[in-house]
Amino acid sequence: MTKRIVARIDIKGPNLVKGIHLEGLRVLGEPHEFASHHFASGADELIYMDVVASLFGRNSFDHIISDTCKDVFIPLTVGGGIRTLKDIERVLKFGADKVAINTAAVNNPGFVKEAASAFGSSTIVVAIESIKTGPSEYLAFTDCGREHTGLNVVEWAKKIEEQGAGEILLTSVDREGTGEGLDQELIKLISDATSIPIIAHGGIGKKEHVKEAFEINDQIGAIAMASCIHYEHVLSNQKLKKNEQEGNDDYLQNRRVNKKITPFSLADLKCYLQKNNIKVPSSLKEYTQYAN
């Protein structure tokens, strides 16, 4: 099975941000600029996550989506603050291909069913934010891992599949931003319990993590990453600036990277995976022709 490499872009206000355990968000730059860069480097898919649901329903978010879809020609999943069928219709109208739902699904699992029947299962991604609470025990959270739902992730994953979700975006909040590698135990629990595609997320810090994860569990169809690829872009571009006067730009000023993270570009990653016999869509010759 061909694997997907997904670039995840967390957005707060007008900026791309990155934290650890989804918290302590640092501004790295503009979402669209990073999306274009990752597209040109061979990303197979993008996720725009409005991490504090700060923008949802605001025109500025619609513009970030539509500007991106004018020149980035890969699937885009948009999440953060989606609560109604109208919300879904709105982001799809501006160019998103899929939506990621978390809180609204937890509040009312029937919403997943409604959304799947209105827009098709392949459009509806349910985001699960998981925190390990005991040996082999993981619970689902919302709001960047802050709000406790009491739901066991395995039961929850089965439930949302039953409701017609087309895909699970599985985030290990424990690993997110740490660069310690994916939580394979968590992923195995979910992949054993479900029969829909899974995007594994949270913890990729170096290329080897991606290779190992695909090798250990062949049920992982896609891996999402953020820190390692965003930092590579920042480090190789002195000019990047944040948008407007908003957010913590400590990182952009000092450019200090978490020691567990070894930044890499997606072009590098794809070459590396291909060399190691992991099937990824061929790295793409004429990217520069279309990417801005």
**Cβ neighbours of residue 146 closer than 8 Å, sequence gap 6 or more:** none
Contact 164, 192 (CB under 8 A): no
Which of 24, 80, 17 lies closest to 50, judged by CA?
80
How near is the Cβ of 239 to another protein at its closest, in Å?
25
Q: How many CB atoms lie within 10 A of CB 83?
A: 17
The span from the CA of 255 to the CA of 208, in Å, is 23
Q: Does 41 bind another protein (CB under 8 A)?
A: no
**Residue 20: closest CA among 203, 146, 192:** 203
Q: Which residues pair with 8 in a beta bridge?
A: 47
Residues 176-195 that bind another protein (CB under 8 A): 195
Residue located via tokens 């025990």 = 137
Contact segment (CB under 8 A) with another protein among 19-27, 89-97, 105-113, 256-264 equals: 89-97
The single residue of 30, 50, 87, 129 carrying the catalytic annotation is 129
Smallest gap, in angstroms, from Cβ of residue 180 to another protein?
26
Closest CA to 11 of 67, 73, 90, 83: 67
66 binds another protein (CB under 8 A): yes
Query: Is 129 annotated in the active site?
Result: yes
User: Could you say which of 58, 70, 148, 255 contacts another protein (CB under 8 A)?
Assistant: 70
- β-pair partners for 273: none
- By CB under 8 A, what part of segment 250-289 binds another protein? 281-282, 284-287, 289
86 binds another protein (CB under 8 A): no
Assess whether 137 carries a catalytic annotation.
no
Least distance to another protein from the beta carbon of 282, Å? Answer: 4
Among 20, 139, 193, 196, binds another protein (CB under 8 A): 196
Query: For residue 1, which of 46, 42, 44, 38 has the smallest C-alpha distance?
Result: 44
The answer to whether 85 contacts another protein (rule: CB under 8 A) is no
Pick 220 or 257: Cβ nearer another protein: 220
Instruction: Tell me the catalytic residues.
Output: 10, 129
Q: Which residue ranges make up the site for another protein (CB under 8 A)? A: 1-4, 39, 44, 66, 69-71, 73-75, 92-98, 117-123, 166-167, 195-198, 219, 221-222, 281-282, 284-287, 289-290
